[in-house]
Chains A and B, each alone.
Chain A
């Protein structure tokens, strides 16, 4: 690996770029190069910011051995974190007050290093202001709460004292003699009966009561009343339920004890004069103070909401700016410092088409800080696997996602997404063929596509909706193709349209019709118009026939096999494009050729026989070409594989054409020959090249690396060496190669059979869909249509139509659509892509602000 850092001129000539841009963007992933960029430290921040706006480079981590906490720009990242924390705090405050945060219209750029300090100061100021406001509000609210409680205490105690007057006069009478003895008057005795008033949380009352009873041995008299107003805890905002209590007691000692219990139970005590007048006086005072406080509270609330509204305008901008800043510093942490500490070195993957954009971004970045030394970009040769980058647009993205869900394409291999755009909706249409259901799907897709800007702007968290919306173009195309196939099947909600005029006629006379409940039309007679064929789609008469399933099965099964075989042959042919592009042309001979011969001679031959049978056997012909003599293509195929014969009926031929038997034997023989060809060709070839390599290429290790470039100038002889190097086959023992190839061959041979059979799902799903739709019509809607009562009829048809429409949407369009979608997906992933697709790549993930902001939004 001595020449790993070999520099190459960047291909920036206009014609070269134009030529590359002309290529079909979806055919294979874009050419990517590994680049090294040298940036002046002062220009680094602005350059990376420009690159983030461009979104065209994927940086590689050059400090993998360095701990995340020991990197160069950790303190800056921390600062960003702190700013984000402040933003989150302000956001939470906004949410608490229900202030909406508006999305900003234009996305701001990352702040300059100079602006960062401003931004920080602004955030600091805002946070402090809001925190101070909150603290003040809490203090005021605590005050307010106390006053409210006091008001309640004063009001409620009114009643207590009135009752108490009555009780204590009675008690006084009982104690009269005692008190006389001690020389104190009745009034004095009443005066010694002290009390404490306050409020306590409602759930604590029973325990509080019990505790008072215990400490005083029943000598405390407690009165309580629930507060009907709910209060708010100023700190947490929770609602509080409180009870007013007054505890009457005798003696100073008991008073102290009760006070202790009160603090223990977090009861708040309020001064409460025992005289009625004083209490009323105090209540008045409290009420005026409450009014004042209310005004102050309103004013603070106004001020707070003004401050928050102002912040809410700025906050989204700040949030985006901080996110960008953080992303920039994270990226700069991936860079390496030059030994002389004079420049930062970064390594990145860049699509060749975007190299000029990257260079412009770098020069813009340098210019922004007025740096005199320009940053520069070097292209490096590398042996490493490059990332896969398919430039998609809104139309192709959905299809590319279908492919990527299976596995990301290896670097620059043929991308099946391009073909999926049509084959996917088309195979879906074969299964979902119904003009009515197709139209519903098309209408849904069209609605999403035509309003995509409006619908896309509304960001939704509904996952199901997002899936539908992401696949809107797939749904649109699926709808269109279902309408085409539905028209061809002549199936609209299980009914047919007689557009071109049925080619079948009734030639039975009335008496025959009246005497036979079931009659079959005869294609060999005048029942079928001579030489006329229903020009597009199935003749509508089949929909009415009781034996339509027999006819449809024969037609749809053949259809499935025909499309299956064509699809698979197409897939196998795609592998030549890969073999050719990756300079392993010899594999076209060793792998592609036996595969395609095997498939064509056996399965394409069967397809040919299907068409031949349609042409050859004629209802009006005499044996051996009469309908009765027509052999089953399937039985014929099985006989061909097993070298068996089935005796023909009298007057018929076993074979459709002369020498068919000989031809079939030759086909099977060649087909069988292809198996050892596939099995041994590649391993033997590798064995031979290795021997040669060892002899000839002993001193030429450097060439191997150069050959990896796969530039058109690479000499042909180096290609095999390049291949064996790139796949690491150099180390793989031969026995393993043989085993791999054996597995591969068995898999291919078996798969041709199983995959062909697998395409029969096209028929099965289509049949199920048509039958379900017919059953729904007959069991639901027909019930409504058939009632002829003038009053009940309209009601029935309304109800039945509603039921039919619901079932049609829920079951036939949604559920059947989903099932047909999944089967189509499988046909592409397994049956089609297994013929050529490797899917071992990894996705190109550019450093792009747009992507970062979208991600954090979700």
Chain B
């Protein structure tokens, strides 16, 4: 599962940063357009990657308020376990 978003996003930014510059329209500003596209692809991909990898193996978990937890459980369709289950 973890690889799929990686492939999708790498493909998207690959198209922006590699394919589009190749097919950029001819004209006096072609060089600028190419440079803009390559840099956009590269920077945005790296930015996405950092965010993705930072969450790949989180070392800590979020600390939440009682109310937040209850609202989350209700709003995000997260059924609370009915039976007391040994936790930790």
Contacts and interface: CB of A to CB of B under 8 A. Distances in A.
Interface of A: 21, 23-27, 393, 396, 418-419, 421-423, 426, 430, 484-485, 488-489, 498, 501-502, 504-514, 516-523, 525, 527-528, 531-539, 541-542, 544-548, 550-551, 554-555, 558-559, 562-563, 566, 611, 614-615, 617-619, 627, 630
Contacts of B40: 422
Contacts of A518: 63-66
B55 A508 contact: no
A520 B1 contact: no
B7 to A, nearest CB: 11
Contact of B80 (A422, A509, A554, A627): A509
A506 B65 contact: no
Interface in B22-52: 28-29, 31-32, 35-36, 39-40, 43-44, 46-48, 50-52
Contacts of A617: 57, 59
A25 B30 CA distance: 9
12 contacts: A26-B31, A502-B76, A508-B87, A518-B64, A533-B56, A535-B5, A536-B5, A544-B64, A545-B64, A551-B62, A611-B53, A614-B56
A546 B76 contact: no
B50 A562 contact: yes
Contacts of A562: 46, 50
B55 to A, nearest CB: 5
A544 B62 contact: yes
A547 B76 contact: no
Given A533-B2, A619-B57, 4 more contacts: A504-B61, A513-B69, A523-B59, A555-B54
A27 B36 CA distance: 12
A80 B7 CA distance: 70
B72 interface: yes
A547 B51 contact: no
A532 B55 CA distance: 10
Contacts of B35: 24, 418-419, 421-422
Given A536-B48, A559-B50, A511 B84 contact: yes
Given A422-B40, A533-B52, A545 B63 contact: yes
Given A533-B55, A562-B50, A23 B31 contact: yes
What are the nearest 6 A-B pairs in CB distance?
Answer: A24-B31, A545-B62, A521-B61, A535-B5, A422-B39, A627-B59
Contacts of B87: 507-509, 512, 525
Interface string B64-88: 1110111011001010111111011
A531 B68 contact: no
Q: Which of B5, B57, B66 has the most CB of A within 10 A?
A: B57
A528 B58 CA distance: 9
A627 B81 contact: no
Contact of A547 (B46, B48, B60, B80): B60
Contact of A548 (B29, B62, B65, B70): B62
A534 B61 contact: no
A523 B58 contact: yes
A541 B62 contact: yes
A563 B46 CA distance: 8
Contacts of A520: 60-64
Contacts of B84: 509, 511-512
Contacts of A512: 84, 87
B82 A509 contact: yes
A533 B81 CA distance: 23
A511 B86 CA distance: 12
Contacts of B48: 488, 536
B80 A508 contact: yes
Given A421-B36, A485-B47, A614 B61 contact: no
Contact of B60 (A421, A517, A559, A627): A627
A534 B57 contact: no
A100 B86 CA distance: 87
Point out which of A21, A523, A533 has the most chain B C-beta atoms below 10 A from its C-beta. A533
Nearest to A537: B51
**Considering residues A506, A532, A551, A566, which has the most beta carbons from chain B within 10 angstroms of its beta carbon?**
A506
Given A523-B59, A551-B62, A566-B46, A535 B28 contact: no
A193 to B, nearest CB: 97
B81 A513 contact: no
A531 B72 contact: no
B69 A519 contact: yes
Of the listed residues B40, B46, B59, the one surrounded by the most CB atoms of chain A closer than 10 A to its CB is: B59
A627 B81 CA distance: 27
Contacts of B73: 506
A24 B39 contact: no
A291 B54 CA distance: 92
Contacts of A514: 66
A303 B72 CA distance: 83
Given A488-B51, A520-B64, A558-B50, A618 B57 contact: yes
Nearest to B50: A559
A589 to B, nearest CB: 27
Contacts of B44: 426, 484
A542 B36 CA distance: 33
Nearest to A485: B47
B40 to A, nearest CB: 6
Contact of A542 (B31, B57, B62): B62
A519 B9 CA distance: 34
Nearest to B53: A614
A538 B55 contact: yes
A506 B80 contact: yes
Contact of A418 (B8, B32, B65): B32
A167 B44 CA distance: 102
A508 B82 CA distance: 9
A517 B63 CA distance: 10
Contacts of A554: 54
A513 B52 CA distance: 30
User: Which among B8, B36, B61, B69 has the highest number of chain A CB atoms within 10 Å?
Assistant: B61
Q: Which of A539, A550, A551 has the largest number of chain B CB atoms within 10 A?
A: A551
